[in-house]
Amino acid sequence: MQTHILTVTQLTYQIKNLLEGTFPEVWVEGEISNLTIPQSGHAYFTLKDEHSQVRAVLFRSSHRHLKFTLQHGMQVICRGRLSLYEPRGEYQLIPDYIEPKGIGALQLAFEQLKTRLEKEGLFDPDHKRSLPVLPRRIGIITSPTGAALRDMLRVIKRRHPKMHIFIYPVPVQGVEAAPALIEALRYFNRERNVEVLIVGRGGGSLEDLWAFNEEAVARAIYASKLPVISAVGHETDYTIADFVADLRAPTPSAAAEMVVESERNFREGIRSFEIRLIRVTQQMLEHVRSTLRENMRILGDPRRGLEQYNQRVDDLVRRISLATAHGVRRDQARLGALNAGLGHLNPLAILSRGYSITRSYPAGGILKNAADAAPGIMISTKLLKGDVLSRIERIEVDQDR
């Protein structure tokens, strides 16, 4: 009997065909462990229970359509096929659908995204903008054929017939809904042709409302410079858009009521403010009058005070004039005495009594002693009137002086 010997590759190939032919589709339940997601976008993990484990690969084409995020320790139910990875000779599960056990995939995705965005601060009350008191232009982003739009238009027209309404039609469910909602938000923020936005639709299942749970839509609402009201579904329906928006309305009709104060109520409010303003103004005026009367009583007639001040000013002027005249006379006397003293000290005054001043010539130094002179030098003699220039012929020195 001849033995047929297989190569490793041949054996692996036959096992691969057997596995893929026998298990074209299987449902497997287990716990995710050893999860890795490289840059390729594929998810590699191990699916295990208490006794066994199997490797699994969720390729990028299926991974990108997953609504929730795979996590270590998560209990999941996988639908897929069995295959064999030939380079290592290991069989593996290749799922094309995964759902969390015990909770729907969409509900889990909702909770995961809500937790993550809340940690990032997208729900922070400090970021939320106030609505305008009475906007003149309102933008509505919703389906043009839905009952929600008709309800909002009816409420707005009833409460404020002259309101300008801009409608941006978008699909509100399906794969095209989220991109359309984002583009509508960007359009109104770019054009700035409205003062407030209403984003919403009527009720539905979690799947129907899912466009308003998309992360990209939430970030577009957060980035809006215009106030945004989220009006999605019924009162019990909550979406991520409700948490990010500046205001959440339980229904589209309620959103219309929130954004538009009825004209009659608005006029009544203005009249009430007017009455209060008049009353407060009258009270303030009466208080001012009372204070003025009390001050006038305390101060008395100001004309009498002015008369006393005028008399006091005249008295001060008279006293200042007398003091000034006395000071002038005193200063004149002192000036005369000082002038006489200077006259006595003035050396030129001595010349009028026959004296003279002799100086060396041309140096100009005063000669006080005959010994300081010498025959032949020139001297200058200053008289009362004029100077005399002469040459010394002889010097006589008084020995006693």
pLDDT in tens, 230-244: 999 888 788 999 999
Is the Cα torsion angle 6, 10, 11, 17 positive or negative in sign? negative
Among 102, 130, 160, the domain-final residue is 102
Per-residue pLDDT tens over the stretch 198-208: 999 988 887 88
Neighbours of 77 (CB within 10 A): 16
Q: State the residue range of the domain holding 285.
A: 264-310
Residue 290 to residues 38, 141, 277, 280, 286: CA-CA distances in angstroms? 83, 59, 20, 15, 6
Least-confidence region, from 102-106, 113-117, 281-285:
102-106
Residue 143 sits in the same domain as residue 223: yes
Residue 257 sits in the same domain as residue 133: yes
Local confidence band at 264 (pLDDT 50, 70, 90 cut-offs): low
Query: Number of structural domains, the chain?
Result: 4
| pLDDT score of 228 more than 90 | yes
Residue 362 lies in a domain: yes
The predicted structure's pLDDT at residue 359: 86
Residue 251 sits in the same domain as residue 158: yes
Distance between CA atoms of 45 and 35, rounded to whole angstroms? 4
Residue 351 lies in a domain: yes
Residue 231 sits in the same domain as residue 132: yes
**Which DSSP category does 224 fall into?**
-
Which secondary-structure segment (H or E) carries 85? Answer: strand 75-85
Residue 43 lies in a domain: yes
**Going by C-beta distance under 8 Å and a sequence separation of 6 or more, which residues neighbour residue 326?**
none
Least-confidence region, from 103-107, 360-364, 367-371:
103-107
Provide the CATH number for the domain around residue 18: 2.40.50.140
Residue 128 to residues 110, 121, 221, 228: CA-CA distances in angstroms? 22, 11, 11, 9
Residue 273 sits in the same domain as residue 228: no
Residue 392 lies in a domain: yes
* Cβ–Cβ under 8 Å, residues 93 and 44: no
| pLDDT score of 263 more than 80 | no
Residue 69 sits in the same domain as residue 129: no
Residue 221 sits in the same domain as residue 199: yes
The predicted structure's pLDDT at residue 373: 80
Residue 287 lies in a domain: yes
Least-confidence region, from 109-113, 178-182, 263-267, 276-280:
263-267
Residue 152 sits in the same domain as residue 233: yes
Residue 302 lies in a domain: yes
Among 245, 261, 277, the domain-final residue is 261
Residue 88 sits in the same domain as residue 166: no
